[in-house]
Structure 1
Amino acid sequence: MQYHAAPNISGKVSKAKLRIFLQIVILQVFYYLTAIILFFATAQLLGLPFSFKWCFSWQWVSLENTLGLTLAALWLFDSLLSVIFITIIIGRSKLAWDYALTVHVVNLALVWLNSGFPASIYWWLLQICSCAIMITLGTWTTRWKELRETFFEGIADTELGQMHESASTSPAATTAAERK
């Protein structure tokens, strides 16, 4: 009787874990880099001194002053831009939830380490809205991307005003002028 060794799946598992970890790190870097750029540009436009504490502290988010409102609006805009990163980096609608939640859990951990546990209801509401934006739009855009790649490959691309090669060679793709 001959025994066969079990297939070595540990290499595949470790590669998958490494890929997930790298995607989380890249998404988190883009999330904070975008926020820092937005905050810095806004500080320059308003003539305010820029501070990294705006990114890593819950105490600045408030609806009671213009800086707090501005930061809240910029965080929401950052969430909108992060949807693009989720679509490009992650690309799967089933994973959009996981990665959007992970971004916010890591954000909570960094804020907690930097300035203590968030005690502001405004900060929590902002995080809920931000997370909802990233989950909803991230799922929608990645699903759109998946469907486009899966079901619409080879069909006329009306958005770009061109036809794919496989569609242009099919009999159904002939124009009315060619049929005359």
Structure 2
Amino acid sequence: MASFRSYVWDPILIIAQMLSMQTIFYVSLGFWLIIVDKISNTNKSLDQMFNHSSLDISSGSGKIILVAFMLNSLTGAISLWLIIRRSKQCWDFAITVHIIHLLSCWIYNVRFPSTMTWWLTNIVCASLMTVLGEYLCMRSEMKAIPVAGGRADL
């Protein structure tokens, strides 16, 4: 007898979810960067996404990139809610997305990210993505399950 919401190990599902989350992370980050670049009239570059020194909050362009990363964490939370649908797994997927981003930045720059702003931004974004994703998933998980056909007088 299977229990309610029993967890079944499905590596293909997990890999598909991770690929979806990573794709949405970079596509939506690119989307937010394009929008904030249009508003602020700054040049578009891959450095905005991967170069850790571009997140310098003392410059105006660094603050704009920071806004794009924060907006992307909101998009990431919504994608956790739509793709993962389990509050227990939100932390795992959000951290994995950001670890893969760390590795991508490391490969892109050919050195480990060393700026405090980059680390703080990614820690805050991962936390925001996790907390909001868990909140949205919990709201869906806590909805009442309608039971049709039962007797009302019991």
Short-chain TM bin: 0.7 to 0.9
Does residue 65 of the first structure (1) align with residue 59 of the second (2)? Answer: yes
1:21 positional shift? 0.7
Amino acid paired to 1:128: I
RMSD: 2.0
Amino acid paired to 2:20: I
- Who wins on radius of gyration, i.e. which is larger? 1
Q: 1:139: which partner in 2?
A: 134
Q: 1:130: which partner in 2?
A: 125
The equivalences for 1:1-180 within 5 A come to 16-115=10-109, 116-148=111-143, 152-154=144-146, 166=148
Deviations 1:39-59 (A, max 9, x none): 112222322221122111111
TM-score (norm 1): 0.74
Q: 1:9: which partner in 2?
A: none
SS at match of 1:21: helix
Runs of 4+ in structure 1 deviating by more than 6 angstroms, as ranges, are none
TM-score (norm 2): 0.86
Question: 1:138 and 1:46 mapped to 2: Cα distance?
Answer: 29
Identical aligned residues as a percent: 23
Q: 2:5: which partner in 1?
A: none
Count of residue pairs the alignment pairs up: 144
Deviations 1:110-149 (A, max 9, x none): 000001211100000001100110111111111111111x
Deviations 1:16-51 (A, max 9, x none): 111101100101110110110111122223222211
Q: Which has the higher contact order (CA 8 A, sep 6+)?
A: 2
Structure 1 unpaired stretches of 5+: 1-11, 156-165, 172-180
SS at match of 2:54: coil
Question: 2:90 and 2:40 mapped to 1: Cα distance?
Answer: 35
1:74 positional shift? 1.1
